[in-house]
Structure 1
Amino acid sequence: MEKKRVVIGFLGTTLDAGKQNRWGRWRPTVELCQYRDLPIGRLDMIHGEGSMALAERVTADIAQVSPATEVRRHLMNLADPWDFEEVYGALHDFARGYPFDPDAEDYLVNITTGTHVAQICWFLLIEAHFIPAKILQLSPPRGGRDGGERQPSSYGLIDIDLSRYDRIATRFRRDRDEAANFLKSGIETRNEAFNRMIDRIEQVAIRSKAPLLLCGPTGAGKSQLARRIYELKKARRQVGGPFVEVNCATLRGDGAASALFGHVRGAFTGAASERAGLLRAADKGILFLDEIGELGPDEQAMALRAIEEKRFLPVGSDKEVGSDFQLIAGTNRDLSLDVRAGRFREDLLARLNLWTFDLPGLADRPEDIEPNLDFELARFSEREGLHVTINREARQRYLAFAASPAARWLANFRDLGASVTRMATLAPRGRIDAATVDEELARLRRAWASKADDDRDLLADLFGESELDGIDLFDRVQLVEVVKVCRREPTASAAGRALFAASRAKKASANDADRLRKYLGRFGLDWTAVRERGA
């Protein structure tokens, strides 16, 4: 069964009017019912009370030229047809109440008549699938008369489902690919999981102003990615202010709040002049708070309000200031564990956790070592003005080691960048050879072994070398982390909360400090000894 074609549109108070010689002029609402290749089964004509007479005349004329077309009139009174909010609301209500039946009817929305505001509103409603229709656009006749008869007008149909237009869809995909490639600094990464994550970040960055949380180990590329997100949004004219980067680990004591939120003159000893603060500096731009888990509790509370309300109090001031920034936060810690341990505000994490992305370390992306090797070589050449390459044997030797278990990459891509810089600097005649690679690999092994020696020295200071050799490697690895937490936290209770946060959340740990003391006691250690040796 053939579907009925239905047209929905406004009565044209100007274009459809004309009492005299109305058959000699172009009237789009009447004209659309006269195309032989576009038979109209029903016309839903929208008009106000002031156009009742015109609506009756147009209805009668359509009955004369197209008896098969049913005309239904819909009353819609608009106080101001150029008021976007009013027009959209009225058309939205119309669409919600309309008995659409796409299985039996094909719908066209005629945008030839009505204000430009109405045209935009029709487009938005169709694009958002409130109205299952295509757009109908009529064009007036060109030229004069031909043999005494007016030349016919024309029409065009527009389907807003852009995915059906191959050339538009191809261009859209190309734009998205270029944006994702931009976020990766042009590196042809091969890790599928990482590439999917970058695609999702690109979507979120373009469509949302909500905070983003970038997680991952040191050197995974959080700072670089945050800056590329900013540059992408700036290129799309979505931000106009600057990119302000802050490493929260450098903010300590009374100066932390002042650095972030500013202060007024005389707020504290030494405050001889007013300071705007980094949040105000990021107005209309992006604020990147790296290592946000290092913020103190007071700064966390102030940051939460600034993120939610875009307003805050500078230190020593009783007058609020505003800053409309988008926040990107970075951390190499599990903030959910910090929440359980009482070191990080749960409400702040909830605000940051809308869009969370975990950046993998280099060891989790071995297939991306080679493209990053080439990227670092190109970056060195651009930075130093020296073109450096690597021969095949040297490349194979370096990549084999880089992807092996022996490569620890403690600082991830930061380590890789430093390694390539050293090789490029020492490369004879601008070409890295096998001997240069061997020298670099020996240097990396020594550096990583030194880190292992540091951990051994930490325990040897507590046990002595001979006694340490009697402890299993498994226990030594665990003990290193326990001792580090004990020396970082001010009390045994705080250290216990940090170490046993998961058990505590499951209510499987009654006394964290006592549990820690019992653990240390297994090795003949106590809280005081661990703390004093580390002082």
Structure 2
Amino acid sequence: MSKPTVAIGFLGTTLDRKGKGANRWNHWRPSVALCQQPDLPIDRLELLHGTTARDIGLAERIRDDIRSLSPRTEVRLHSLPLTNPWDFEEVYGALHDFASGYPFDTEAEDYLVHITTGTHVAQICWFLLTEARYLPARLVQTAPRREPEGDPAGQATLIDLDLSRYDPIASRFRREQAEAQSLLKAGIATRNADFNRTIEQIERVALRSKAPMLLVGPTGAGKSFLARRVHELKRGRHQLTGRFIEVNCATLRGDGAMSALFGHAKGAFTGAQNARDGLLRAADGGMLFLDEIGELGADEQAMLLKAIEEKRFFPLGADREVQSDFQLIAGTHRDLRAKVAEGSFREDLFARINLWTFALPGLAQRREDIEPNLDFELQRHAREQNRQVRFNLEAKRRYLAFAHASEARWAGNFRELSASVTRMATLADSGRIDEALVEEEIGRLRHAWGLESVAEPLLAERELDLFDQLQLQAVLQVCRGAASLSEAGRQLFAVSRQEKEKPNDADRLRKYLARFDLDWKRIKG
């Protein structure tokens, strides 16, 4: 046996009032027509109406007419005092209160929300409350029929807000979301789970929020590149119309910093022969990326805070404010909390830009992404130089083995990897990167990272089997790059330590080094 159906809706102060006297029966009236649907019997109608005598009188007439046409339908009248039915906040609040106080019983009854009547504001509020499940209901819309002409019953259409049931819609949404995330990653199929989660969050925030973002990561981790991609994504969704303006705050000093960022009036200082708009105004309607924001001076920080919060500021030497509505993305490789603690960065500015903070790992923390980035860099080289270059199979294996090894520091992160691939692609004869080119490039990187002389003095003091030499050299490389004996031990024993109830990584490493008459102090010295 089907459950009783309960409909909730507004009295239509215009549509429900159509016709006078007996003539009203010849007109389509949505609240009455809802209760005339043979395929959608309504057992109870909760009819909301205004508090004026005219509204009350119309509501009572509609109730009586429904009784005569559909005796099974119980009509309950609810007086809803609204000062302004076009005020979104007032209407939403009133309907939210009604929904919160209504005794819904979803096990015993089915619910419909009639969205044909009421102001457009009321219809939007019904939709939002139903989608958020404050109203455990489906939407129903009524309309007059075109044929036969003059049929007062009209027709009714149910609207189910569970979009997951509509495979084409759900598939399209997932596809668009995946395309947006691919745009942010430049089409690189990253294999790092943490970075993938970060990109997913950035995509959602970028499309749903205008608040500032803070990208934290080492130099070369891709902060500027990602900020540009966020701008492209928002422009593609018509959320931004202006330009992408990038500023490296580390290059701004003194009055030049104020002028570059905020502009200046003519004659503001010696040499200011003409007025200047400044980069914040250039970003109006677009996106401003302030890289290394921690390098800004105190005056620039104060001005920037005002510009972010109020969208207006005074150019240097001007007596009138100017406006600029931009979205801010800030970047830094420094610990801004520490700079706040030491007093060199404003706490209120940090709080303003810290709503959405995303950490971008360096290449050394994303070694599984080296291979897809190799392919990406070769494709970029082909586009820019109109010359296709590829690795020989063994050459690629050799390069990846070195790139994944613990001795590969990648201090310059993805920027350094890009430069490395560009060098090999440029020197490649016949469009092939062979093993000789790879070995030459590995030598360059080892020299740049100071790896050639790290272990030799300690190894040269004793005669060792080749096996011990290679093993000890790898251990010494890890030790040189670690901040403490414990940290080095955790890296070296990352797998076996999981099997121990109380792993003592530092002690295991100390005993290993003692076999070669080495200790931590001597290695680091």
After TM superposition, the score normalised by the length of structure 1 is 0.79
**Cα distance in 1 between the residues matched to 2:24 and 2:254:** 82
CA RMSD of aligned residues (A): 2.8
Aligned to 1:113: 117
Q: How far did 1:452 drift?
A: 8.2
Aligned-partner Cα distance in 1 for 2:478–2:24: 95
- Residue in 1 aligned with 2:411? 410
Q: Residue type matched to 1:141 in 2?
A: R
Describe the shift of the 1:243–1:451 C-alpha distance in structure 2 as closer, same or farther (beyond 3 A): farther
Q: Which moved more, 1:83-92 or 1:442-451?
A: 83-92
2:152 counterpart of 1:127: no
Closer, same or farther in 2 for the Cα pair 1:230/1:476, shift >3 Å? closer
Q: Sort the Cα spacing of 1:229 and 1:47 in 2 relative to 1 into closer, same or farther, 3 A.
A: same
- Mapped to 2, the partners of 1:436 and 1:245 lie a distance apart of 36
- Which stretches in structure 1 are left out of the alignment for 5+ residues? 454-471, 480-535
CA distance in 1, matches of 2:56, 2:298: 67
SS of residue paired to 1:223:
helix
CA shift, 1:400, in A, is 0.9
CA pair 340-451 structure 1, distance change in 2 beyond 3 A: farther
- Alpha-carbon distance in 2 for matches of 1:223, 1:400: 29
Give how far 1:161 is off.
Answer: 3.0
* Partner in structure 2 of residue 497 of structure 1: none
Partner of 1:155: 156
Change in 2 beyond 3 A, CA 1:364/1:344: same
1: distance between equivalents of 2:400 and 2:415? Answer: 16
Q: Which amino acid aligns with 1:214?
A: L
Report the AA paired with residue 9 of structure 1: G
Which residue does the alignment assign to 2:281?
280
1:201 is matched with 202
**Separation (CA, whole Å) in 1 of partners of 2:412 and 2:58:** 76
Structure 2 residue aligned with 1:260? 261
Distance of 1:118 and 1:365 partners within structure 2: 51
Q: 1:311 — aligned with what?
A: 312
Hey, what does 2:470 align to over in structure 1? Answer: none
Quick one: distance in 2 between partners of 1:325 and 1:378? 33
Greater shift in the superposed pair: 371-380 or 424-433: 424-433
| Structure 1 counterpart of 2:68 | 64
Quick check: 1:135–1:158 contact (8 Å CA) kept in 2? Answer: yes
1:450: Cα distance to partner? 8.1
Residues 382 and 388 in structure 2, CA contact (< 8 A), matched pair in contact too: yes
Q: Secondary structure at the match of 2:41?
A: coil
Q: Which residue of 36, 41, 64 maps to 1:39? A: 41
> Distance in 2 between the 1:451 and 1:198 partners?
37
Query: Percent identity at matched positions?
Result: 65
Query: Which position in structure 1 is the counterpart of 2:357?
Result: 356
> How far apart are residue 384 of structure 1 and its match?
1.0
CA drift at 1:212: 0.5
Give the letter for the 1:143 counterpart: E
Does structure 2 conserve the Cα–Cα contact (< 8 Å) formed by 1:143 and 1:151?
no
Q: Contact 1:144/1:151 (CA < 8 Å) preserved in 2?
A: no
Matches of 2:65 and 2:231 in 1, distance apart?
A: 58
| CA shift digits 1:427-460 (9 cap, x unpaired) | 111122222212211221122228989xxxxxxx
Q: CA deviation at 1:130?
A: 3.2
Alignment of 1:443-482 (within 5 A): 443-449=444-450
Tell me: CA distance 1:474–1:240, structure 2 relative to 1, closer, same or farther (3 Å): closer
**Structure 2 segments unaligned to the other structure (5+ residues):** 455-475, 484-525
**One-letter amino acid of the structure 1 residue matched with residue 324 of structure 2:** S
Aligned length: 460
- Report the Cα offset of residue 89 of structure 1: 4.8
1:513-532 alignment runs, 5 A limit: none
Distance (whole Å) between structure 2 residues aligned to residue 47 and residue 474 of structure 1: 75
Structure 1 position 15, deviation (Å): 3.4
Output the CA distance in 2 between the equivalents of 1:451 and 1:97. 75
Shift of 1:330: 0.4
Distance 1:403 1:150, change over 3 A: same
* Structure 1 SS opposite 2:142: strand
> How far is 1:78 from its partner?
5.3
AA matched with 2:7:
V
Q: For 1:37 and 1:343, how far apart are their aligned partners in 2?
A: 71
Q: Deviations over 1:208-252 (max 9, x none)?
A: 111100000110000000010111011111111111100001001
CA distance in 1, matches of 2:165, 2:357: 33
Q: Cα deviations across residues 490-516 of structure 1 (Å, max 9, x unaligned)?
A: xxxxxxxxxxxxxxxxxxxxxxxxxxx
The amino acid that maps onto 1:229 is V
Cα separation, partners in 2 of 1:358 and 1:51, compared to 1, 3 Å: same
Q: Tell me whether 22-31 or 411-420 shows the greater mean CA deviation.
A: 22-31
Q: Residues 285 and 326 of structure 1 are in contact (CA less than 8 Å); yes or no, is this contact kept in structure 2?
A: yes
Over residues 127-148 of structure 1, what are the superposed CA-to-partner deviations in whole Å (9 max), with x where a residue is unaligned? 2333222100123234227xxx
Partner residue in 1 for 2:141: 137
Instruction: Rate the CA distance shift 1:477–1:417 in 2: closer, same or farther, 3 A.
Output: closer
Distance 1:299 1:117 in 2: 43
Q: Is the 8 A contact 1:219 1:413 kept in 2?
A: yes
**1:142–1:151 Cα contact (<8 Å) kept:** no
State the TM-score, normalizing by the size of structure 2: 0.81
Q: Does residue 233 of the first structure (1) align with residue 237 of the second (2)?
A: no
For residues 63-101 of structure 1, give each alpha carbon's deviation from its aligned partner in whole angstroms, at most 9, with x where no partner exists: 122222110112346566555555445434443444444
| Per-residue CA distance 1:403-431 (angstroms, 9 max, x = gap) | 11221111100001011111111111112
